[in-house]
Every structure is written in structure tokens, then in C-alpha cells.
Amino acid sequence: MTGETIENDLKAISKSYTRIAEQIGKFVVGNTPLIEMIFVSMLSEGHILLEGVPGTAKTVIAKTVAALSGCDFKRIQCAVDMQPADIVGVRMYDAEKKDFVLKKGPIFSNFILVDEINRVSPRTQSAFIEAMSERQTTIDGITHQFSDPFFVIATQNPYEFEGTFPLIEAQKDRFMFSTKLRYLDADEELEIIRRESTGYLDWDAYRSAIDPVLTPGMIRRFIGTARSVRAEEPILRYIRDIVLETRKHDDIWLGASPRASIAFVRGSKALAALSGRDYVIPDDIKRIARLALPHRLILRRESDLGGVTTGEVTEDILAAVEVL
């Protein structure tokens, strides 16, 4: 790409994000950081893990972003008895064709919302591993590629324990970013009540008025633009030092994997592009660290029992590591 082309694309990325945020804001109250994270993840070709209480507009935001992006959307409601075939699909015999044909599962879409992913067993969770890492699935020895773009948002509710299974580490590591959602504050809650009272929270009417801001082709182009953003050597060393610090911190039993380093690079470049910059700054790295690290860190037992959180450890690491 030429310098002028990159500059034009960066302006287009920033403008598109602003339009999408404005459109979502007409229906959804608050959640601006989540909307930004979804857009950054989309440009990074990453996936998101959301943890938090029900009723915080996760599904609505995911469906709206998919609609504004001109992409297909599927929702998978997880359950204890769900099998891998319920997710990826199954090959069935077609009497007319006298051959086996693939009945595709909901994973064959652009945007996937996996609701309450920790309700499925580790065996079924494994169905997502190849899908999220390789953007493909293998059924009866035959590999099937997914649509492009392919983006997964998964949720888990930490306040329900019956019928749930902790995510296996290999599964959590496939998520580029994670965050914990909160309830709305007093003013935001009042705005929700006002909108409901005046009839503004009509999803069908809102959805019918949505005009896509992006297309799959534009998304693919913007992904390429984000990857062309410059990350100078001091920035790359800063990322390295943060990741290495997670592997020797006193409170951490298992630190971040090389996938975290990749998440830092891709995420910081996407965040810079979202800001209209063609270069990464240390503040981009710090913001990405709060999304890329907490779900990847496993604390020592004594630290966990002592009430230490991975978020606190992440802040401790950021305070200790300097940009060279």
C-alpha cells in the first residue's frame, strides 16, 4: 500500500467506527468500551471472551455490529448436553444424491455469538479450538473452511456454578481479548428506563432501520490496513518485556503464551488505526494489555486464596515494565 492509500484507509476506518458507535448508541446505552473492543478485535482477526452478569446487551451489540458490518450472524446457546456436531454440523446420507452431504452447523457464519460457553463440556468446547485457531473445521476427515471474516464472541456467567465447566486453558488462549462487563451506572440505568417508557427499545423497528456501514470486502481491506501500521523496535521490545514479566511474576503460576504477544501486536495496531494513526504508541500497548492478559494468567494458589486478581497483577506488571 502507498502512504496515501494507507492514510485514506485509516480515515475510513475511524469514520466507520464512529458511524457504527453512533448507530449502536441509538439503541444501546453505555458499553462504549465493549463496542470499541469488538471493532479492534474484528480488525485484529481475533475473538472475544466476555464475563459478566446477564442483561448487559451482549447479544444486542453483537447482532447490531454484524448487521452494520453487512455480515451473517448466528447465535449458539450452549447447554450441558450439547455435542460437537451441534456446533460444527454433521455429514448425512442423501438418498437422492446417493452420497453423504454436509449439514452445516451454526459455526458456519461470519459473526458467532457463543452464549454461556462454560455450560458445555470440555469435549464439546474442543470443537471451538480448531474453528477459532484455524478458521476451519474437520468433519469425518474432511476439512471445511469458514467464511471470511470469521469472528467469535463468547460469554460466560461467573455467578452460576451448577451445570458449568471451567474453560480449558487451550480454549481460553484462543480468545485474543477478554473483559468483565459491569451493570450500568445510575444515569445509564435511568436512560434505559426512559427509552423503554417512550417506546425506543423496540428491537424489530430498530433492526429494520439499520443500513450496513461496512461490507465483508471492506473489513478484509481494513484488516490489511491495520496490519500495515508501524510498530517500532522499542514498542516490540516493550511487548516482549511485558509478556516475559508474566512468566516470572511472584503471583503468577503460568504466564502468557506467545499468542499473547501476537494479540499485543495485532491489537495495538488495530487500536492505532482506529485512532487514525499509522504507528503504535506505548499507551496502545497498555490498553491492549488489560484485554489480552487477565484471562491468560493463572495465579499461584496462595495468591488466588489471598484475593489477588489477574487484573491487579496486570496493572502491577504495567507499572514495573518501562519502554526502552
Cα-trace Rg, the chain? 21
Task: Report the pLDDT value the prediction gives residue 321, as an integer from 0 to 100.
Answer: 96
pLDDT tens figures, 237-254: 999 999 999 999 999 999
Q: What is the pLDDT of residues 188-204, one digit of tens each?
A: 999 999 999 998 888 88
DSSP track, 295-322:
GG-EE-HHHHHTT--HHHHHHHHHHH--
pLDDT at residue 161, rounded to an integer: 60
Give the pairing type, strands 252-254 and 177-180. Answer: unpaired
Within 8 A by CB and 6+ apart from 60, the residues are: 27, 28, 203
Which domains, ranges and CATH numbers included, belong to the chain? 3-218 (3.40.50.300), 229-320 (1.10.8.80)
Question: 3-state DSSP: the chain helix, strand, coil percent, rounded to 5?
Answer: 50, 15, 35
Q: Are strands 142-145 and 136-139 parallel, antiparallel or unpaired?
A: antiparallel
- Distance between CA atoms of 41 and 96, rounded to whole angstroms? 43
pLDDT tens-digit map of 51-107: 877 777 788 888 888 899 988 989 999 988 899 999 999 888 888 888 888 899 999
Distance CA 147, CA 138 (A): 15
pTM attached to this predicted model: 0.90
Amino acid code (one letter) for 317: I
pLDDT digits (tens, 9 = 90+) for 146-170: 988 999 999 887 655 666 788 878 8
Please name the residue that has the C-alpha cell 451489540: 61
